[in-house]
Structure 1
């Protein structure tokens, strides 16, 4: 009845955390109240940065094959398409995955569960966390199992991936400040036809109701996500698809043939005050929740899991002090707060009421958006933001140095020179060094002694175009973010980086 980490909640966040830790030799126990993986889902979008990070788990190809990539976003006004934003044309030089990818959360969860089972770890279903204590250098949790009996479980750390109503968060007392949108949201999986059923994302800017049509894998399938008019807010449970279907048909010309699933729900905008308290951590919806605008929620939770996983593995394997775990909150809470603020502003714009709001949304915005869409810089900024490839940890105590546009804490720029893809080495779940150009022999010797993988790339103009600098040393963390940028190229800088933080590569533990 003991594991290194007890994970509460088997959604995508908890499952990715379990996968990462298991791959690094950490013993995990993952529990969930549900009897099975989700059979319906609201989360759809898998962003480019998530697909990049999934390469470490050998998941990217399976997610791509199981879903549908979205090459463009279309904005509609008064029943007509106002403008189109071509995603593929923007991101081709930025990422191996220059698109928004649709892969429903229920299918996503099943894939993660299967991969975890292949590693010998099964989710303990119909198991509820009743409480836990954090003392004497351990976590002692009480679990209620499927037969109603109670079970004591001991772990070094507990990870709360248990959603917006997180019991782990409640017990840690870290609060959940924020608010609740007054609008009622709905989601519906449908079979339909019409100009909006062309495999792209379509968003309606009319009125004060939000409406988006997401393409789904399979001919004529789509997910409708929208808000319901205020006069029915107080009676959300009585809303049926008939209450909203006319609007979808009228505004986005979607002719519905069959409804497979329909649900209404409320959305909050909240961020907990602390992501870590002692030996307890909060991830995903347990730590932050916001409107579905931009398709960021599930991706942010997965990002939390990957950020925390390598740090837990490092501490548990004796490769880092416990203080390394403090950087999880430092790095993730700022992004969560910014994300909640950004999605709140966007959602407030698309749902604002009144004559002026309608004028801005239906007259001014359609004139401005095409102009913005023609600007390469504006399109690239939008793609980088939504895809999460701009997310960085520059303010982290783990980040050091800069050269050109690349700073410690940044995502490593992607570049392909000839047949050489600099992201190929990032499948390694450990610290590593990249040098684009020539490397000093003493540095190479030091990397070998420390157990650091050294990747040397012959200097090419493609690397310069991507923002990389010749002969500079880029130290990469196990989650592939740049830890240190050093222009001197001397081995002593690497030595000081690891020694000052009391860190060791994980590879030194493996034979």
Structure 2
């Protein structure tokens, strides 16, 4: 066709960008029956490994897509990170303390994550359209008219209900919206390479050496290599191609006896930008992942945050498009994920600065104070929760209702891992009902369970699961919680309920017999007239 030829097509959601964020968003939408297209201007999925490391929280929110077993099979679980300062031990971070079904950081390159997500998307009949570029769009208020240019020069106008920009730090979508991308670039430069490494420290754990402003980090790769990252002070970066000799020279500086680079693979140089989009949405257009926020790679947070943006947006868009949820449900995407991005950029900036400091006083503090503080159990727990992103919460979300039970999570917090229920996230909401120590045989408890079950079943897409000290086949979705451990983790040993959102966060908490908060939430966000696909119960854990 000639370059002037054009066609007009339609879809519910047009996703621009086929990185991890765009693919996760599209897969979450297709999973819920939403018509979605994914366009990517690159000719194929990128083979470049780029980001490395899938956090426990990301694995949890991807469970419903069925991709986690594939990721775990290809990845390498890393359970410890050892930090040294000027050749002295500072901290050993025990990632096996992560309170999840995934007590580790899964070392899996971004390229593999994207391939697995693209394969999952194809299983729902959606193929990524490579070589297709967004050149412009108009938000009419009723839909988005997006103009696409294909590799053969053909243009196409897509009438989409919604447009999602997952097109990276140089986002065309963000640029066309005119949304500022404010922030700064660090003065330091970085070099990274995938290397074979012969050293006396073994293989499998991660290591960080804070060497007087020249830190280096090592992360194990599934194929038996290490990803090595060096930070250079201003003016010290040699420039040009990263070389094997450069990596070896840094190894020699660290003082690890006999350490040598045995082979040399992918490499790159980069600078760290810390930038935030002024907002995550405008009208019928959304920004996700690097299009909305970029930051230091310290802590392996970037790809994970983008995927969690996608999961948050996917269920809300689907609930509105196919389930009749009100449009202002979509406003909570910016409210929730914008706050997470602000916190993340601030946190990674502080931590990156800390690793790059090299003054005498700073070095003394790291050596003397850090080992005493970071070795404490409660500090390790907080640290591993932050690294794994299990501490991400939405305390100010408009979706929250009810009050936190004593000793249990509040609305807006992640539903605790119990091993009793199925995946941490599902296609629809799940009402978890806890009979309490009295059990389902108690008439009052049974009546409360029945009332909650009827409330949930009147709303399409809301599944019910019941935890009881003794199994009762007469109750829907019953789980045997003999020790009441799951009850305790939710703070509901006396009985109660928690409505868990599709992304695994608690929306409503209440006691048996007190359904006002739940009724109000369901009436507000999930009206009875909805016609969403009915969600089945969560798959049994394990």
Structure 2 equivalent of residue 463 of structure 1: 486
Matches for 1:89-238 after TM superposition, within 5 Å: 90-91=97-98, 94-219=99-224, 221-233=225-237, 236-237=239-240
CA distance in 2 between partners of 1:501 and 1:110 (Å): 34
Give the TM-score taking structure 2 as reference length: 0.87
Q: 1:494 aligns with which of 497, 505, 518?
A: 518
2:424 counterpart of 1:400: no
Evaluate the alpha carbon distance shift between residue 390 and residue 314 of structure 1 in structure 2; reply closer, same or farther with a 3 A threshold: same
1:182 deviation in Å? 1.3
Q: Distance in 1 between matches of 2:55 and 2:386?
A: 10
Alpha-carbon shift at residue 493 of structure 1 (Å): 3.7
Q: SS in structure 1 opposite 2:44?
A: coil
1:105-141 deviations in whole A, cap 9, x for unaligned?
0111111111111211111111111111111411111
Q: Distance in 2 between matches of 1:426 and 1:352?
A: 39
Cα RMSD over matched residues?
2.0
SS at the partner of 2:81? strand
SS of 2:317 mapped into structure 1: helix
- Counterpart for residue 18 of structure 1: 26
The Cα shift of 1:22 comes to 0.2
- Answer yes or no: is the 8 Å Cα contact 1:12–1:109 preserved in 2: yes
Report the Cα offset of residue 492 of structure 1. 4.5
Aligned equivalents of 1:120, 1:257: Cα separation in 2? 44
Residue 453 of structure 1 pairs with residue 469 of structure 2:
no
Query: Cα 1:83–1:495, aligned 2, differ >3 Å: closer, same or farther?
Result: closer
Task: Give the Cα–Cα distance (whole angstroms) in 1 for the partners of residues 486 and 534 of structure 2.
Answer: 32
Aligned-pair CA distance for 1:366? 2.9
Residue 246 (structure 1) aligned with residue 249 (structure 2): yes
Unaligned 5+ segments in structure 1 are: none
1:414 matched to which residue of 2? 417
8 Å CA contact 2:325, 2:530 repeated in 1: no
* Between structures 1 and 2, the one with greater helix share: 1
Q: Is the 8 A contact 1:33 1:128 kept in 2?
A: yes
Tell me if the contact between 1:430 and 1:505 (Cα under 8 Å) persists in the aligned partners: no
Counterpart among 415, 436, 440 of residue 434 in structure 2: 436
Task: Give, in whole Å, the separation in 2 of the partners of 1:309 and 1:403.
Answer: 29
Shift of 1:368: 2.6
- Contact residue 247 and residue 261 of structure 2 kept, 8 A: no
- The TM-score with structure 1 as length reference comes to 0.92
> Which residue number corresponds to residue 476 of structure 2?
none
Q: Shift in Å at residue 491 of structure 1? A: 4.2
SS at match of 1:403: coil
Deviation sequence 1:242-275 (CA, Å, 0-9, x none): 3343112431634101111111012200111110
Could you list the per-position Cα deviations for residues 389-436 of structure 1 after superposition, in whole angstroms to 9, with x for gaps in the alignment?
1111110000112212311111111124xxxx22x1545310121012
Q: Is the 8 A contact 2:280 2:292 kept in 1?
A: yes
Q: Are 2:344 and 1:334 aligned?
A: no
Distance 1:102 1:133, change over 3 A: same
Once the two structures are TM-superposed, the CA of residue 241 in structure 1 deviates from its matched residue by 4.4
- Residue aligned with 1:414, SS: coil
* 8 Å contact kept, 2:280–2:288: yes
Q: Deviations over 1:365-405 (max 9, x none)?
A: 13333323431111100011111111111100001122123
Distance 2:502 2:84 in 1: 42
1:505 Cα deviation from its structure 2 partner? 9.6
Distance 1:197 1:314, change over 3 A: same
Give the Cα separation in 2 of the matches to 1:367 and 1:174.
45
Query: Aligned equivalents of 1:339 and 1:493: distance in 2?
Result: 31
SS in 2 for 1:115: helix
Number of positions where the alignment pairs a residue of Structure 1 with one of Structure 2? 497
Contact 1:131 1:171 in 2 (8 A): yes
Gaps of 5+ in 2: 1-8, 436-444, 470-482, 536-542
Give the distance between the partners of 1:505 and 1:65, measured in 2 at CA: 42
SS of alignment partner, residue 407 of structure 1: coil
Q: Tell me the distance in 2 between the aligned counterparts of 1:374 and 1:394.
A: 29
User: How many angstroms does 1:149 deviate by?
Assistant: 2.4
Distance 1:23 1:464, change over 3 A: closer
**C-alpha spacing 1:136/1:406, structure 2 compared with 1 (3 Å):** closer
For residues 156 and 22 of structure 1, do their structure 2 counterparts lie closer, same or farther at Cα, with a shift above 3 Å needed? same
The alignment partner of 1:7 has SS state of: strand
The CA distance in 2 between the partners of 1:237 and 1:134, in whole Å, is 43
Distance 1:126 1:446, change over 3 A: same
